[in-house]
Structure 1
Amino acid sequence: MLKNLLITLLCLCAIHTYADTIKTDVLVIGGSASGTAAALQCARSKVKTILVEPGPWLGGELTSGAMCVVDANRNLPSGIWGEFRKHIREFYKKMPGYDTTVNAVLKFEPYTGAAILKKMTDTVKNLTLKLNTPWKTIKKNGTGWEVTIVEKGKTNTIKAQIVIDATGTGDIAALAGAKFSTGFDSRSNTGEKLAPEEAIPVTQDITWCAILKDYGKGADKTLPQPEGYDPENYASLKGKDLLKMVQGGRIPNDKFMLKWSDPGISFKSSPEQLDPKNREQFYKECRLRVLGLIYYLQTVGGLKNFSTTDEFGTPDGLPPIPYMREYRRANGKIRMVLDDIFTPYDRSSKLYRTSIAVGDASPGQHYVDKRGPQTAYPPFPAYSIPLGTVVLKDVDNLLVTEKALSTTHLVSASTFYPSVQMVLGQGAGCVAAYCAFFKTTTKNLNVRVVQGELLDFKGYLLPFSDVPLTDPNFRAIQQVSATGMLKGVQKVNGKTAPVLFNADSLVTTAEVEPAIREIYTRAFLWFNKEKPGTQFTVGNLLSFISEITLTEPKVLRSTMEKQWKETFKFTLPYDMNRPLTRREFAVLTNKYLNPFARTVDLTGKLVN
């Protein structure tokens, strides 16, 4: 009896010493582009944060997936994404031929990208990084969560108030009970005119990128023939200039990214294949086909001097993860649809008012499965991503990013890009930090406070490519435009449509009156009395400021005249009869009326 009791006590002691419990405010699971940005933002917002990544690198598809030629969001260097771009350019700026133009397509070696992200996390307080740390389970603990991880062979438990699922596959959210949709949504389901009449169970292909290095003309780096190799798998490459195709993906240091739509590197995928119980086998098959492609290039194509490198640390030299465009989309409190991109100001909901991220990626359409139709997107505008898309509808205190973002299929074709996701991750980090700092839940979010934190850290709310962060009026323009007083203008440029603020253009009464009336209850009295003309003048705005702030008109005009050039740095003359520019309207309205202070809910509706 005594012996059994002692054995039991020893076992209990062993278990106690074996398993640790770690407490944190925010736990980010997945060191993807969004996960890394989210963790950085949470830590910079001064909440205790842990970032758990099963692999050895940060960056997800940008680095571990070798998606290292990035053209999206290069005109929208929001926050952490802009910081990452700057570090990459600084690293390569002395390399001959490297394009350091501010908005150039970003090209880098995967290892370098991962190292830069690691250095960024190393310099931030309040952030604990756990690489090579798989997670196992998640369960609710009051309003927070308990997640078990395996750290150096030891199973530990992390207790967190807020969890961010940045895994790319939504596995954490799925285990926590989130609901998802997959494939093409039907038109009746989303209201999107470009959606098919009936839902189609097809998801976009995954691509297993590869990085090849040119070892020189005399080198023979031919791989051993891969298992199951069949040259007919690559028959579509016959007659093509393979050297030119390889060199089209040039990155620094004589390396080349392979990212083709041809068979051998892109693969039909489905929720069944990507399900955790089938994923490992599916990935193995994909990797063998990619190795077969490289072997084909070396043997049939004569490119035996091109081969894999050892930078990924994998046995076969391939990136450890694929470039995944789509899997499953979570049901969020808000679902973003195409009309939120094409006509954001014409909807009953005003989701642009709740933005926590911006994007401008052209929609990808990659379907080996012939059932996947090619959607005839009009020129695609830059857009804002609403806060409610990262907040789960039925699960509190768990946020989602990456492919689990709450959008329709047609919207996810743009939001999945890693550069867009890095911007989104920072926004999600602000949401998580808000909940942690104010000790509240995702049921009680204050959109404006979250957005204010994002602006403090150089994030964009509206995708204005003509108002850079260096503009002295950047914040005023962002805040006033987030109320709907001033609207962005889409300028079609081929297949895209950048959104411009047009700071020097003139303000019309028709543009600003609806939002002014909505925000200020006494505005209708002023409009009925003043009856402003077609153009909204300096005098009109000062009169309205006087009405709302109860400032004596002569005092306001005198003060404004003194501050016009000295304080506000306006270049046009102070003239009460002159029509206002959009810049002047934004700066003065933000300063004296502060419409951004009006609370809005997750749909963008004003809250009294």
Structure 2
Amino acid sequence: MKKFAFLFVYLIPFLSFAQLKTDVLVIGGGASGVMAGIQAARLGVKVTIIEEEAWLGGMLTSAGVSAIDGNHHLPSGLWAEFKNTLVKHYGTATALQTGWVSQVMFEPQVGQQILSEMCSKESNLHVLLGTRYTQIISQNNNWLVSLAGNTQETIQSKILIDATELGDVAALLGVKYDLGMDAQSTYHERVAPQQANDIIQDLTYVAVLKDYHQVQKPVSPSADYRREDFICACEKLCPDKQMPRLWDCEKMKTYGKLQNDLYMINWPIHGNDYYANMVDMNAEQRKQAIIKAKEHTRNFVYFMQTELGWNTLGLADVFETKDSLPMIPYHRESLRIKGLARINMNHLEKPFTQAEPLYRTGIAVGDYPIDQHHGKNSKAPDLYFVPVPSFNIPLGSLIPEHVSNLIVAEKSISVSNLVNGASRLQPVVMEIGQAAGVLASLAVQNKISPEKVSIRKVQNTLVNQKAYLMPYIDVAPEHPYFRAIQKIGATGILKGEGKNNKWSNETWFYPDSTVLLKDFLEGLKPYYPKLKLPTFTESELSYPLSYPQLASIFIHISPKHQVNLPPTGTIQRGELAYLVDKVLNPFYQKIDHEGFLAQEKNQKNP
């Protein structure tokens, strides 16, 4: 359903009292907010992060979801840096593989410590914990934000990044947004429901349990506890042995096994998933919904302790909270802004054949299926791991329509409801945050609003940070042609091949293979539409591109910039990307937020 927030922006006279000042203000120190702050600070602008809780990391830490889903073979940018620091902390990559669901698992407090240390190393970054905003005001092309909590000041910022869990800043500032499931007719996504609805994904109040190796007193269940709510969470007590997705109980427990006898309980099947659409709730309604979600989780823990016989397990004291539960719930879905670009499931499945070449504007990558949790809402369709190839997220999804100097990160970017089921995962959100940091820094340095920043400059900066634009699984950042392949891949001159591979979906570039001459010429056409290329025979077009043919093409396109090429032989795709980037440099031809080149736009709208 479409929802619209009331605009809460006032123009006021110059404030005479002292203010904090920053170039970029990140509201929300979660998975995207931390990465946005670190990246912008590294690029030389002054950044402040405000976070309401006592920890940084959001869903990674404060919500307890310390098992990373996806992107295990796409080590992009700051996500890779975080992962590598975890490996260093625990000693080996194998030490992160404690549960069967993920290749990267860690204790929440360790993740928080690492993120805090990453932030502390940045002299341009200031972090204010235990701090929330109370008012946001537009004044003279700046934002004035009133703060409360540990810091009770007003802070002035040029660029604002909404990294909140539910998109609250965007809603407050009047950004148009959608909430709930899109109708099949909206984007013609093959698994979308026929009718739109206001259903969002279940949230989870995670529990982290510890095996104390001696009998523990069970947690206190709520007055409405019913064992029937949980008996089919796993196989042991479930009367319906034919129920789909009925797991062995021990496997349910080890799903989220962490280091040092800890177990992360984040179980969707008759477990601690809970339905509450908190996006449009007021503060009191949210508070009550969280109380109910916590009660549900405690009931599930009680069930495990008493019915499954796991009486040596008890709540671990890792979160610095009175009830030993995480500081925040795990929100899988929030509002979805109306952005300068919106990606839907068709862009994920067939990125190179869509009307809008959004893949050209990619700034973050993911490889997880469309995974939507709807077990607690009987009205929702079953969307269990809908396979798609690995994918990228367009820059325009971070930029709202009609509101300047605002960037939206975390899970509130402009995507369809179905795409949210894949873009919500931790590494993707971290990469979105990194891209938001790049965009914000370039906006500040060039004294322009984010929507006017060159897409290619954002992408080039990300590639220089060893971040992926295209999700090519077979070209790691250490590859000698990584930068060129990412850039030429983002032009579409050379395209990859997407595949579904269970939970880890893939796109392959094949850097060591050849390309047919006709396919290479087809890729060049959008960039050089008026160019009369050499005439090749029908037979030549159907064979791999050779060095002499490439030399002839280069002469026609760029006669002043030539390289010495071998006189014979076919060329491999990796080297071809490098040479095209070096000689022709098509990457820097300007594109818009839909991915169109100027000449394509002119042809479309003569």
> How does the TM-score come out when normalised to structure 2?
0.89
- Picking from 75, 78, 81, the partner of 2:76 is 78
The letter of the residue matching 2:559 is: L
Q: Which runs of 5+ in 2 are unaligned?
A: 1-14, 239-247, 600-606
- Of 466-475 and 198-207, the range deviating more from structure 2: 198-207
**What's the offset of the Cα at 1:496?**
5.0
- Picking from 557, 564, 583, the partner of 1:560 is 564
**What's the offset of the Cα at 1:160?**
0.9
- Picking from 386, 394, 397, the partner of 1:386 is 394
In structure 2, relative to structure 1, the CA distance for the partners of 1:252 and 1:484 (3 Å cut) is: same
What is the distance in 2 between the residues matched to 1:247 and 1:539?
Answer: 58
Maintained 8 Å contact 1:72/1:359: yes
Map 1:353-372 onto structure 2 (within 5 A): 353-367=360-374, 368-372=376-380
Q: Which residue of 2 aligns with 1:40?
A: 38
Q: Which residue of 1 aligns with 2:317?
A: 310
- Of 59-68 and 512-521, the range deviating more from structure 2: 512-521
Q: Which residue of 2 aligns with 1:255?
A: 262
What is the distance in 2 between the residues matched to 1:262 and 1:364?
Answer: 13
Map 1:176-187 onto structure 2 (within 5 A): 176-187=173-184
In structure 2, relative to structure 1, the CA distance for the partners of 1:259 and 1:378 (3 Å cut) is: closer
**What's the offset of the Cα at 1:529?**
7.2
Per-residue CA deviation, residues 430-472 of structure 1 (Å, 9 max, x unaligned), is 1111111101012312101111111111111000011001101
Q: Is structure 2 residue 435 aligned with structure 1 residue 433?
A: no
Q: Is structure 2 residue 211 aligned with structure 1 residue 220?
A: no
Q: Which runs of 5+ in 1 are unaligned?
A: 1-14, 562-573
Map 1:162-241 onto structure 2 (within 5 A): 162-216=159-213, 218-226=214-222, 228-237=224-233, 239=237
**What's the offset of the Cα at 1:249?**
1.8
Q: What secondary structure does 1:314 align onto? A: coil
The letter of the residue matching 1:171 is: D
What is the distance in 2 between the residues matched to 1:473 and 1:601?
Answer: 26
Q: Which residue of 2 aligns with 1:291?
A: 298
Q: Which residue of 1 aligns with 2:120?
A: 122
The letter of the residue matching 2:593 is: L
Maintained 8 Å contact 2:87/2:93: no
Map 1:494-573 onto structure 2 (within 5 A): 494=502, 497-523=505-531, 525-528=532-535, 533-534=541-542, 535-551=544-560, 556=562, 560-561=564-565
Maintained 8 Å contact 2:54/2:129: yes
In structure 2, relative to structure 1, the CA distance for the partners of 1:495 and 1:301 (3 Å cut) is: closer
**What's the offset of the Cα at 1:223?**
2.7
Q: Which residue of 1 aligns with 2:570?
A: 579
What is the distance in 1 between the residues matched to 2:226 and 2:536?
Answer: 81
Q: Which residue of 1 aligns with 2:477?
A: 469
The letter of the residue matching 1:234 is: F
What is the distance in 1 between the residues matched to 2:350 and 2:92?
Answer: 43
The letter of the residue matching 1:428 is: A
The letter of the residue matching 2:574 is: R
Q: Which residue of 1 aligns with 2:422?
A: 414
Maintained 8 Å contact 1:242/1:297: no
- Picking from 56, 61, 64, the partner of 1:63 is 61
The letter of the residue matching 2:196 is: A
Maintained 8 Å contact 1:183/1:202: yes
- Picking from 325, 338, 349, the partner of 1:342 is 349
Q: Is structure 2 residue 595 aligned with structure 1 residue 591?
A: no
What is the distance in 2 between the residues matched to 1:273 and 1:136?
Answer: 17
Of Structure 1 and Structure 2, the greater helix share is in 1
- Picking from 490, 497, 500, the partner of 1:489 is 497
RMSD: 2.4
**What's the offset of the Cα at 1:125?**
2.1
In structure 2, relative to structure 1, the CA distance for the partners of 1:234 and 1:196 (3 Å cut) is: closer
In structure 2, relative to structure 1, the CA distance for the partners of 1:319 and 1:74 (3 Å cut) is: same
Q: Which residue of 2 aligns with 1:139?
A: 137
Maintained 8 Å contact 1:274/1:282: no
- Picking from 377, 400, 403, the partner of 2:408 is 400
Per-residue CA deviation, residues 115-147 of structure 1 (Å, 9 max, x unaligned), is 000000111121111111111111222322111
Maintained 8 Å contact 1:274/1:327: no
The letter of the residue matching 1:208 is: Y
Q: What secondary structure does 1:443 align onto? A: helix
**What's the offset of the Cα at 1:493?**
2.3
Q: Is structure 2 residue 595 aligned with structure 1 residue 604?
A: yes
The letter of the residue matching 2:387 is: P
**What's the offset of the Cα at 1:99?**
4.2
The percent of aligned pairs where both chains have the same amino acid is 34
> How does the TM-score come out when normalised to structure 1?
0.89
Maintained 8 Å contact 1:222/1:305: no
User: Is the radius of gyration larger for structure 1 or structure 2?
Assistant: 1
**What's the offset of the Cα at 1:46?**
0.7
Q: Which residue of 2 aligns with 1:565?
A: none
- Of 267-276 and 458-467, the range deviating more from structure 2: 267-276
**What's the offset of the Cα at 1:285?**
0.9
Q: What secondary structure does 1:41 align onto? A: helix
Q: Which residue of 2 aligns with 1:324?
A: 331
- Of 321-330 and 271-280, the range deviating more from structure 2: 271-280
Q: What secondary structure does 1:161 align onto? A: strand
